[in-house]
Chain A
Amino acid sequence: MIMDINVNIKELNEKIEKQSDFVEAINHEIGKVIIGQKHLIDSLLIGLLTDGHILLEGVPGLAKTLAIKTMAAVIDARFNRIQFTPDLLPADLLGTMIYSQKKEEFMVKKGPLFANFILADEINRSPAKVQSALLEAMQERQITIGEKSFILEDPFLVMATQNPIEQEGTYPLPEAQVDRFMLKVLIDYPDKSEEKLVLRENIAKVFPTVNAIMKPDRIIKARNLVKEVYMDEKIENYIIDIVFSTRYPSDNGLEKYSGMISYGASPRASINLALAAKAYAFIRRRGYVIPEDVRAVCPDVLRHRIGLTYEAEAENVRQEDIIKDILDTVEVP
Chain B
Amino acid sequence: MRKLCFIFIIIFAEMTAGAQDVRVKAAVDSNSVLIGDHIRYSLEVEQPADIQLNLTEYNDTLAENLEILSQSPVDTAMTDNGRMILKKNFLITSFDTGFYQIPPYRVSHKTEQGIKNYYSDYVPLKVSRVNVAPSDSTDVIFDIVSPAKVGYSAGEILPWVLLAIVLAAGSILGYKYLKRPKKVKEEEKSKIPDEPIHIITFRELDKLEKKKLWQNGKVKDYYSRLTEILRFYLEIRYGIKALEMTSEEIINKLSGEDIEKNSFERLKVIFRNADLSKFARYSHDSTTNTGSMDDARTFVRDTYKTNDPDQEGDDMKADQGNLAEKQKGKEDSNG
Q: Is A96 an interface residue (CB 8 A)?
A: no
Contact A327 B244 (CB under 8 A): yes
Cα separation A2 to B281 with both chains bound (whole Å):
11
Q: Is A235 an interface residue (CB 8 A)?
A: yes
B278–A234 CB distance below 8 A = yes
- CB–CB B284/A331 < 8 A: no
**Cβ contact of B288, chosen from A2, A6, A235, A290, cutoff 8 A:** A2
Q: Residue A271 at the B interface, CB < 8 A? A: no
Classify the interface of chain B: helix, strand, loop or mixed: helix
Quick one: which of A3, A289, A295, A330 contacts B283, CB cutoff 8 A? Answer: A3
Contact check, B244 vs A288: say whether CB atoms are below 8 A apart: no
Instruction: Say yes or no: A3 contacts B279, CB within 8 Å.
Output: no
Tell me which of A9, A291, A295, A332 contacts B281 (CB under 8 A). Answer: A9
A301-333 vs B: 1/0 string, CB under 8 Å?
Answer: 000000000000000000000000001111111
B190 within 8 A of A: no
Q: Report B-chain residues with C-beta under 8 Å of the C-beta of A13.
A: 280
Query: Which A residues touch B245, using CB under 8 A?
Result: 332
Report the number of A-B residue pairs with Cβ-Cβ less than 8 Å. 66
B244 touches A330 (CB 8 A): yes
Return B173 CB to nearest CB of chain A, in Å: 23
Q: Are A290 and B279 in contact (CB under 8 A)?
A: yes
Chain B 74-99 interface mask (CB, 8 Å, partner A; 1/0): 00000000000000000000000000
A320 to chain B minimum Cβ distance, whole angstroms, is 17
A175 touches B (CB below 8 Å): no
Interchain CB contact under 8 A, A234 and B279: yes
- Mask of A1-43 contacts with B, CB within 8 angstroms, 1/0: 1111110010001000000000000000000000000000000
Is A52 among interface residues, defined by CB-CB distance under 8 A? no
Is B241 located at the chain interface by the 8 A CB criterion? yes
B183 to chain A, nearest CB (A): 23
Closest to B278 in A: A234
Given the complex, which residues of A lie within 8 Å of B283, measured CB to CB? 3-6
A332 with B243: CB separation less than 8 A: yes
Separation of A9 and B278 alpha carbons in the complex (Å): 13
Task: Please determine whether A1 and B284 come into contact, CB atoms closer than 8 angstroms.
Answer: yes
| Residues of B contacting A329 in the complex (Cβ-Cβ under 8 angstroms) | 244
Query: Does A188 sit within 8 A of B, measured CB to CB?
Result: no
Encode A248-282 as 1/0 by CB contact (under 8 A) with B: 00000000000000000000000000000000000
Q: Known: A2-B284, A3-B284, A4-B283. Contact between A328 and B244, CB under 8 A?
A: yes
A195 at the interface (CB under 8 A from B): no
A235 neighbours in B (Cβ, 8 Å): 279
Is A244 an interface residue when CB atoms closer than 8 A count as contact? no
B310 interfacial contact with A, CB 8 Å: no
Query: Please, which residues of chain B bring their CB within 8 A of the CB of A4?
Result: 282-283
Are the C-beta atoms of B282 and A9 separated by less than 8 Å?
A: yes
Whose C-beta in chain A lies nearest to the C-beta of B282?
Answer: A2
Does A331 lie within 8 Å of B244, measured CB to CB? yes
Count the B residues whose beta carbon is within 8 Å of the partner chain — how many?
Answer: 21
Chain A residue contacts of B281, Cβ below 8 A:
5-6, 9, 230, 232, 288
Known: A2-B284, A3-B285, A333-B224. A232 touches B278 (CB 8 A): yes
Q: How many residues of A contact B (CB 8 A)?
A: 26
A residues in contact with B284, CB < 8 Å? 1-3
* Docked complex Cα distance between A13 and B287 (Å): 23
A288 to B275, CA, bound (A): 10
Chain B residues, Cβ within 8 Å of A3? 283-285
CB within 8 A of B246: which of A2, A288, A290? Answer: A290
- C-alpha gap A180/B164 in the complex (Å): 57
A201 CB–B CB distance under 8 Å: no
| A295→B246 CA distance, assembly (Å) | 9
* Interface membership of chain B positions 265-278, coded 1 if the CB is closer than 8 angstroms to chain A and 0 otherwise: 00000000001101
Task: Kindly state whether residue B248 has any CB partner on chain A within 8 Å.
Answer: yes
Most A CB within 10 A of own CB, among B241, B249, B275, B280: B280
B199 to chain A: closest CB distance in Å?
A: 24
Return chain B residues, CB-CB under 8 Å to A290: 246-247, 275, 279
The residues of B that contact A289 with a CB separation of less than 8 Å are 279
Residues of A within 8 A of B249 (CB): 292, 295
- Decide: A332 and B280 in contact? CB cutoff 8 A: no
B232 to chain A, nearest CB (A): 11
Whether B285 lies near A1 (C-beta < 8 A) is yes
Q: Which chain B residue has the least Cβ–Cβ distance from A235?
A: B279
Residue A95 at the chain B interface, CB threshold 8 Å: no
**Minimal Cβ-Cβ distance residue in B for A291:** B246
Report whether B248 and A328 are in contact in the complex, using a CB–CB cutoff of 8 Å.
Answer: no
Across-interface contacts of A291 in B (CB, < 8 A): 246-247, 279
A332 & B244 in contact (Cβ 8 Å cutoff):
yes
Task: Report the separation of the CA atoms of residues A1 and B292 in the bound assembly, to the nearest whole angstrom.
Answer: 12
**A232 with B279: CB separation less than 8 A:** yes
Q: Is A299 on the interface with B (CB-CB < 8 A)?
A: no
Docked complex: A96-125 residues within 8 A CB-CB of B:
none
Q: Is the CB of A9 within 8 A of B280?
A: yes
Interface string of A139-176 (1 = CB under 8 A from B): 00000000000000000000000000000000000000
A234 to B275, CA, bound (A): 11
B238 to chain A, nearest CB (A): 16
A47 part of interface (Cβ distance < 8 Å) = no
- CA–CA, A290 to B275, complex, Å? 7
Ranked 7 nearest A-B pairs via Cβ: A288-B280, A5-B283, A291-B246, A3-B285, A292-B246, A232-B279, A6-B281
Q: List 22 A-B contacts (CB under 8 A).
A: A1-B285, A2-B285, A2-B288, A3-B283, A6-B283, A9-B282, A232-B280, A234-B278, A287-B280, A289-B279, A290-B247, A290-B275, A291-B246, A291-B247, A291-B279, A295-B246, A327-B244, A329-B244, A330-B244, A332-B246, A333-B224, A333-B279
**Given A5-B282, A6-B281, A230-B281, 19 new contacts (CB under 8 A):** A1-B284, A2-B276, A2-B282, A2-B285, A2-B288, A3-B285, A5-B281, A6-B283, A13-B280, A230-B279, A288-B280, A289-B279, A290-B246, A290-B247, A291-B247, A292-B249, A295-B246, A332-B243, A332-B246
